[in-house]
């Protein structure tokens, strides 16, 4: 949920603006950007579910 400002992903041609809700399917890869004319961007990001790839990387680095 975008609380203030706006942002987008370099790989897509849309921008999320205040009040927008963005759903990202699992496995989506992208690069977040905030346009230069936006002084401040505040967004609530929520990740649900298991992140298998990160768990695998973390377990390997601990051993």
The DSSP-derived string for 5-51 is: SEEEETTSS-EEETT------TT----EE--TT-S--EE-----S--
Q: How does pLDDT run across 25-45, given as a tens digit for each residue?
A: 877 888 999 999 999 999 998
Residue 52's pLDDT band (boundaries 50, 70, 90)? low
Of residues 50 and 15, more confidently modeled:
15
pLDDT for residue 48: 79
Count CB neighbours of 58 within 10 A.
10
- DSSP label of 63: -
Q: How does pLDDT run across 1-18, given as a tens digit for each residue?
A: 999 999 999 999 999 999
What are the structural domain ranges in the chain? Answer: 2-62
């Amino acid at each position: 949920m975008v609380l203030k400002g706006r942002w987008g992903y370099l790989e897509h041609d849309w921008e999320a603006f205040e009040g927008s809700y963005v759903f990202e399917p699992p496995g989506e890869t992208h690069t977040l950007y905030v346009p230069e004319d936006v002084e401040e961007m505040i967004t609530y990001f929520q990740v649900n579910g298991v992140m298998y790839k990160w768990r695998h990387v973390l377990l390997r680095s601990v051993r």
